[in-house]
Amino acid sequence: MARVVIEHLTKHFTGPGGARIRAVDNASLTIDQGELLVLAGPSGCGKTTTLRLIAGLEEPTSGTIAMDGVVVNGLPPGKRDVAMVFQHYALYPHMTAYENLAFGLRLRKCPRAELDQRVREAAQMLGLNDCLDRKPAALSGGQRQRVALGRALARRPALFLLDEPLSNLDLPMRARMRTELARLHSRLKATMVYVTHDQIEAMTLGHRIAVMREGVIQQVAEPLTLYRRPANLFVAGFIGSPAMNFFEGTINPGAQALMFRTNQANGQPPPSSANSERRLQAAAPTSVETEPLNLLLDPAAGVFPADFVGRKVILGLRPEHILEPASAQEVPTANLIQGVTEIMEPVGPETYLHVRRGDRVFVARVKPGTQAVLNQKVTLAFDMRSAHFFDSETGSRIAS
């Protein structure tokens, strides 16, 4: 097991016309021995480049990568004691599953008896015993992915690097393989770095998650910490499905407590919000409430920083914290909001309501037996005890 320390890692590529593309920007990160750390973020954010830098497949522009206290920047991939599992399997089509599993060991001149033992141990762990004599063309997608993973396991490296290894599988197989990976890590206690853009994989597999955007690490924390206390707007919008709802407005003094008021009748979400991609373009019915939202802050949530009173802020509220009144407990009348149900998404144990208020759409997660009716008014309770606030200029979380 390896402990990996990355300090001020930067990687530039040269784009069309000589433009400099910064794929990784001053990244610093520590991966502890035996940890499964997930690099998560949208496509093009630099997570795969970071993985390739650790593996030695790319040379950093600046910064250092150390394994167990030894800087490995100058070491070729074969000398770093890492094994990488690629997104597209990278199996040799003319070799059987057994030969693919054994290939890396043969290159390292592993004794035949030990090679056979390692290959069969890896096959046993991954349920591949019945297909060791088949070539990749005769294997299912899940079996091919397990062979690619088994080839890394047979190596017994100090560090496993997994680059979106489940992205080519169908949903049931992805769920199964995700469970198998979690069990495998628990058994091996190996150090793993796992790259994905799938937040479900990130939340269920990672001991910690490093969220990246445009080459910059935004936040590194345990999954529930990211969910409950995102460091900025980007993390708040990226973690969670459906995405967090955002409302731009100001904090003002009120008779009972501070009030949040949207800036205009139908306060649009900020451009940087991940939820902006969910906005619907249909015309709003004329009967929709169009007054600005006026929401009472929860006095028990903590003292709101005085510097932000009267200033523009962004309120974030997750869909599960916008409730039907019957499900809401101790939500003041001021926080009951009306809108029109535009889309209903029943997904079994819950239903997602896309509710329009003016030209603003937000998402609520309610019980499957909801009384809401499509294209009719609905009243929802905004549970401000779970509200998040962000600086509208920097996007950073406002601590309370």
pLDDT tens for each residue of 320-362: 999 998 877 778 888 999 999 999 999 889 999 999 987 789 9
Q: Can you tell me the distance from the alpha carbon of 249 to that of 265, in angstroms, rounded to the nearest whole number? A: 10
Does residue 41 surpass a pLDDT of 80?
yes
DSSP run (H or E) holding 375: none
Q: Can you tell me the distance from the alpha carbon of 164 to that of 201, in angstroms, rounded to the nearest whole number? A: 10
> How many C-alpha atoms does 314 have within 13 Å on its Cβ side?
24
Per the model's pLDDT, the better-predicted residue between 6 and 262 turns out to be 6
Does residue 284 surpass a pLDDT of 70?
no
Cis peptide bond N-terminal to 349, omega within 30: no
Q: pLDDT tens digits for 201-219?
A: 999 999 999 999 999 999 9
Q: Can you tell me the distance from the alpha carbon of 56 to that of 90, in angstroms, rounded to the nearest whole number? A: 17
pLDDT of residue 264: 62
Mark residue 45 as left, alpha or beta (left: phi above 0; alpha: psi -120 to 50; beta: remaining).
alpha
Average pLDDT, integer, range 140-169? 88
CB 110 within 8 A of CB 124: no
346-365 burial, b if ≥16 CB within 10 A, otherwise e? eeeeebbbbbbbbbbbbbbb
Q: What is the torsion angle, in degrees rounded to the nearest 10, for the CA atoms of residue 8, residue 14, residue 19 and residue 22?
A: -20
Q: How confident is the model at residue 277 (pLDDT cuts 50, 70, 90)?
A: very low
Per the model's pLDDT, the better-predicted residue between 156 and 89 turns out to be 156
Average pLDDT, integer, range 86-96? 89
DSSP code at position 41: -
Q: How far is CA 332 from CA 11, 134, 249, in A?
A: 51, 65, 20
- Three-class DSSP category at 205: helix
Does residue 286 surpass a pLDDT of 60?
no
Q: pLDDT tens digits for 104-150?
A: 899 889 999 999 999 999 998 888 999 999 999 999 888 888 899 89
CB 225 within 8 A of CB 69: no
Average pLDDT, integer, range 55-62? 95
**Residue whose entry in the numeric block shows the structure tokens 């690490």:** 217
Average pLDDT, integer, range 31-56? 95
Q: What is the DSSP string of 140-158?
A: -HHHHHHHHHHHHHHH--S
The chain-wide mean pLDDT, for the chain, equals 88
CB 201 within 8 A of CB 38: yes
- In the chain, which segments carry CATH 2.40.50.140? 244-391
Q: In 57-106, where do the E strands start and end?
A: 62-67, 70-71, 82-85
The edge-to-edge listing of strands for the beta sheet with 20-31 is 20-31, 4-14, 62-67, 70-71
- Residue among 316, 295, 330 nearest 363 (CA): 316
Q: Can you tell me the distance from the alpha carbon of 151 to that of 361, in angstroms, rounded to the nearest whole number? A: 48
The CATH number of 244-391, from 1.10.10.60, 2.60.40.10, 2.40.50.140, 1.10.8.80, is: 2.40.50.140
CB 68 within 8 A of CB 3: yes
Instruction: Sort strands 36-40 and 192-196 into parallel, antiparallel or unpaired.
Output: parallel
pLDDT of residue 289: 61
pLDDT of residue 271: 41
CB 152 within 8 A of CB 90: no
Q: Enter the pTM of the model.
A: 0.86
- In the chain, which segments carry CATH 3.40.50.300? 4-233
- Residue among 365, 382, 289, 283 nearest 330 (CA): 382
Please give the backbone phi and psi of residue 376, each rounded to the nearest 5 degrees, phi first: -125, 160
Sequence letter at residue 4: V
Q: How confident is the model at residue 256 (pLDDT cuts 50, 70, 90)?
A: confident
CATH superfamily of 4-233: P-loop containing nucleotide triphosphate hydrolases (3.40.50.300)
Per the model's pLDDT, the better-predicted residue between 142 and 9 turns out to be 9
- Residue among 25, 62, 64 nearest 47 (CA): 25
DSSP run (H or E) holding 179: helix 171-188
Q: Can you tell me the distance from the alpha carbon of 250 to that of 18, in angstroms, rounded to the nearest whole number? A: 44
CB 203 within 8 A of CB 230: no
